[in-house]
Amino acid sequence: MKEQRFLGIDKVKISDDFWSRLQDLVIGTVIPYQYEIMDDRIEGAEKSHALENFRIAAGESEGEFYGMVFQDSDVAKWLEAVAYSLAIRPDPELEAKADRVIETIGKAQQEDGYIDTYFIVKDPDHKWADLHEAHELYCMGHMIEAAVAFKEALGKDSLLNIMRKAADLICDRFGKGKVRGYPGHQEIEMALIRLYRVTGEKKYLDTALYFLDERGTKPDLFIEESKTRDIKIFQMDPYDLKYAQTHMPVREQDKAVGHAVRAGYMYTAMADMASETDDEGLLEACRRLWDNITTKQMYITGGVGATVHGESYSVDYELPNDIIYAETCASVAMAFFARRMLELEVKGEYADILEKELYNGIISGMQSDGKRFFYSNPLEVVPGVSGVLPEYAHIDAERPGWYRCACCPPNVARLLTSLGTYVWGESEDTVYAHLFVGGKADFSVAGGVTVTTETDYPWDGKTTFRISVGSPRDFRFAVHVPGWCWDWKVIVNGREEEEYDLIDGYVYLDRTWADGDTVELDLEMEPTRMYANPRVRADIGCVAFMRGPVVYCFEQADNGEDLMALRAYRDGKLSVHRQRLGGLGEYPILTVKGARLIDSGELYSDEPFDTEDVTLKAVPYYLWGNRGKGGMRVWIGEI
């Protein structure tokens, strides 16, 4: 069913001013820092103990388990990031460190393949007793993904051999005619499909399909389980079927509900399974769920999961900016989902959301120094309210250093180091450029093609693709035209091209290509006013600003403390200029004429408040919070 496949990390080399800086940050700072965190070496940071848990389980150390029931997953995601990092930049010292961690994991694994330090160390009598809350399948799933990453990126089998034993245990235990089960927190489904692809063992695919098919069947597993189990970890309500996405079979679901990350991982697995089995029912469900999320439940930044209660989806169009949740992991999950849908169907709507997540909702989760992270990603921060009042307690006005529940930081790390696998795709006769990222990519199309990309995206709309072939080759070159752009040109070998097909947001150029041919896509990149659907009540009367794929915001550092008193003039000219933002570097900044309401000292008045003209300054949203603690707004009143 796949329309195209993405290139592997070994086929893509990124050399890009925007993304290389972020990858360098992850490789040089984030990955070493996160290891130190997990090894409890950073003074003042939230205790992790994640590595020590494995050492205790392996008999290398003595002590008690510490942390969340899913603490193992921090190590797994870190290892996955390391695998991609080593593919980008070999580092013998880092590789040896990862090998030592993998060796410890192997020692901790029990004879039957079971590996979960919470139950090995803390509660061995309750293995598999609480699928609803205990996260065993989730943790093993993340570790399987790390194992696949080491195999695909580096050709190394050590972790794969360990986790195949764990996967075999899962497949032997769960399924029709065996123990009934599926995970409370979806993840194992994605992992088993990836494991199937790298090993060819169909039982892994079959078990992933079983977990998807069994979900939503009656009687509900978690309700039945709760009647007899004598373990409760989070005191979750087994009758809240929507929270766990068990309210109906997955093929019948048409609205995103419940925990946003769990949902996103499940939808990703559904799309993956559809591609492997040509299951039209799964694909149709994915299309319905995609449409509901992107047209009714997504923030302008790509954030999803509007409510702190259960880190969940809310109701259609209910997208508050100040008590938002929009977990970083949920944006990562949406990037996964978008990539899988784009593999199934080459449509611009999927590439648009992938781009939106990457340039906004994901990288906003990490401080520019790589050592502080957001869990939730607000679109409005009010000093004295955000993080202070109980209903705003989850809104941080600045990124914390670490979390007791630290799922997001290593998730960002593994996504950014694997970015090369999101940029390019190919089919038998077509090269697909999905994202505008500088570097080089090698394709098998037409006997072998190499494309080198030069761009200053997202700050400049011009991207040049240089084609290298040994001899003239016939193939199609397809380039995504982002949905935000209404004025663009395609230039082939220096001349504007007028003969092309525009299909579902992609320009298709079908010709005989020669060595040295160039394709340029020139996107007009004027700043744009954006307005929300009137059913999004939080944004009524407000405007937001974008330039290209980048959402902008207004920070206290540039506009003063009273951001709530600012209004943008509807007819005010939008201007762009480059400006240095403290130690962050130089960036395109938006300015627009507006007004500041003058505080009369009265709570209410029968006269409109006086105003003074001001110039409002907006900076890229993902950079906010890097220049000290203060207020911030994405949506601002318009007059």
Name the one residue in this structure whose structure tokens are 């925990």. Answer: 259
Over residues 286-307, the pLDDT tens digits come to: 999 999 999 999 999 999 999 9
pLDDT value of position 396: 86
Q: Among this protein's residues, is 60 annotated catalytic?
A: no
Q: Among this protein's residues, is 407 annotated catalytic?
A: yes
Residues 49 and 68 sit within 8 Å (Cβ to Cβ): no
Distance CA 219, CA 217 (A): 6
Strand partners, 366: 373
Which residue from 370, 366, 399, 375 is spatially nearest to 24, judged by alpha carbons? 370
The full DSSP string for 176-225 is: TTSB----SS--HHHHHHHHHHHH--HHHHHHHHHHHHHTT-SS-HHHHH
The full DSSP string for 285-334 is: HHHHHHHHHHHHSB-TTS-B--BTTTTB--STT---SSS----HHHHHHH
Q: State the CB neighbour count (10 A cutoff) for residue 89.
A: 12
Strand partners, 586: 580
Q: Among 407, 408, 542, 553, which one carries the catalytic annotation? A: 407
Residue 135, phi-psi category: left (phi > 0), alpha (psi -120 to 50), beta (remainder): left
pLDDT value of position 397: 84
Distance CA 173, CA 180 (A): 9
Residues 223 and 238 sit within 8 Å (Cβ to Cβ): yes
Largest CA distance in the chain: 78
Give me 586's structure tokens: 């130089």
Peptide bond into 458 cis (omega under 30): yes
Strand partners, 179: 174
Strand partners, 552: 620
Residues 423 and 86 sit within 8 Å (Cβ to Cβ): no
Size (the chain), residues: 639
Residues 139 and 76 sit within 8 Å (Cβ to Cβ): yes
pLDDT value of position 399: 82
Q: What dihedral do alpha carbons 302, 327, 622, 531 form, nearest 10°?
A: 40
Q: What are the structural domains, with CATH classification, of the chain?
A: 5-422 (1.50.10.20), 424-523 (2.60.40.1180), 528-638 (no CATH)
Name the one residue in this structure whose structure tokens are 């077509």. Answer: 430
Output the CA angle 256-257-258, nearest 5 degrees. Answer: 140
Distance CA 189, CA 81 (A): 20
pLDDT value of position 638: 97
Q: Among 187, 311, 357, 426, which one carries the catalytic annotation? A: 311
C-alpha 607, offset from chain centre:
47
* Three-state secondary structure call for residue 592: strand
pLDDT value of position 446: 92
Residue 200, phi-psi category: left (phi > 0), alpha (psi -120 to 50), beta (remainder): left
* Three-state secondary structure call for residue 625: coil
Name the one residue in this structure whose structure tokens are 């609205």. Answer: 255
pLDDT value of position 152: 97
Give percent helix, percent strand, percent coil of the chain, each to the nearest 5: 40, 20, 40
Sequence-distant (6+) residues with CB within 8 A of 308 are 323, 325, 376, 394
Q: Determine the number of helices (DSSP H) and then strands (DSSP E) in the chain.
A: 17, 23
DSSP 406: -
C-alpha Rg value of the chain to the nearest Å: 25
CB burial of residue 248 (10 Å; 0-12, 13-18, 19+): middle
DSSP 8: P
Which residues of the chain carry a pLDDT beneath 50? none
pLDDT value of position 327: 93
* Three-state secondary structure call for residue 107: helix
